[in-house]
Amino acid sequence: MGPEAPQRVLVVDDEESARFFLTRSLRKAGYAVDEAADGAQAVERLTDVPYDVVLTDLVMPGSSGLDVLAAVHEMDRESVVILMTAHGTVENAIDALRRGAFDYLTKPFELKELLVTVERGLERRAVERENRKLRFLVEKGAELPAEGRDDEGIASARRNFEREYLSDLLKKTRGNVTKAASLAKISRPNLHKKLRALGLNPASFKR
C-alpha cells in the first residue's frame, strides 16, 4: 500500500495576502491546498472537489462564509468548516457554530492556533466516522433474522472493533482517558468501564 494522499483544504478569503499566508502555511504543514477569492468561487470549487477542511472568512463581498458553510453541508456534510472572523463579528461566528461549523478563529491568529484547530477538526471527523461504522455494525447485527444471525460472530466483531477504536484514541491522546472520552463523546466513567471490559490499560499508551 502506497503513502496516503494528503488531506485537502480549501482556503476562502477575499484578501489576497491572507490567502497567500494561509495557503503557504498549510502546504508547508503537508496539506494539499486550493484557494478561492470569494464565496461564489468557493462554491464552484466545492462542486468539483471534495475537501477535508474548508477554512473560510466569514465576511466577504457577495457570498459570505455562512453561504459557504451551507454549500459545504449540502455537498459533503463530512467536511470540517472553520470560520475566520474579526472581533466585531464573533457573534455571527457563534451563530455559524450552531449551524454546524466546527470552530472559528478570531483574526489576527497565530499559525500554531490555525494548525491545531485544523488538526482537531480532522480528529473529530475521524472519530465520527468510526462511530458511524460501529453503529452500522451493531445495527447490521440487530437487523438480521434470528435464523440467520450469528450473535457470537457479531459480538466478537463488535468487541474487536471497539478494542481497535479505543486503542487508536488512547494512542492519539497518549493514554489520557479524559481526552479520549471527549473525542469519543462518552463520559469518563463509561470509558473506564469499556477499557476494563476490553482489557485495555491506558498507562500502556503513555509515551
Kindly report the number of other CB atoms within 10 A of residue 164's CB atom.
12
pTM (two decimals) = 0.64
Mean pLDDT of the chain: 82
Asked if 8-118 and 144-205 have one fold, the answer is: no
Using only the alpha carbons of the chain, give its radius of gyration: 20
Average pLDDT per consecutive 10 residues, the chain (207 residues; last block may be shorter): 71 94 95 94 88 93 90 83 83 83 90 93 82 60 48 64 79 81 75 86 82
Tell me how far apart the alpha carbons of residues 18 and 111 are, in angstroms, rounded to a whole number.
12
Under CATH, which number does the domain 8-118 receive? 3.40.50.2300
* CA–CA separation, 156 and 139 (whole Å): 15
End-to-end CA distance of the chain: 27
pLDDT, tens digit, 9 for 90 and up, residues 103-128: 999 888 999 999 999 999 998 888 77
Q: Cβ distance 173 to 202 under 8 Å? A: no
Using one digit for the tens of pLDDT, what is the confidence trace for 187-201? Answer: 788 888 888 888 888
Domains in the chain: boundaries: 8-118, 144-205
Q: For residue 15, count other CB atoms closer than 10 A to its CB.
A: 13
Domain 144-205 has CATH 1.10.10: yes
Give residue for cell 480528529: 123
Q: Which region, left, alpha or beta, applies to residue 30 given φ > 0 means left and ψ of -120 to 50 means alpha?
A: left
The rounded distance, in Å, linking the Cα atoms of 1 and 151 is 33
- Enumerate the β-bridge partners of residue 160: none
Angle at which helix 65-75 crosses helix 90-98, to 10 degrees, equals 10
Cα–Cα distance for residue pair 100/82, rounded to 1 Å = 10
What region does 100 belong to: left with phi over 0, alpha with psi -120 to 50, or beta?
A: left
List Cβ neighbours of 88 (8 Å cut-off, separation of 6 or more). none
Q: Of all helices (H) and strands (E), which one includes residue 75?
A: helix 65-75
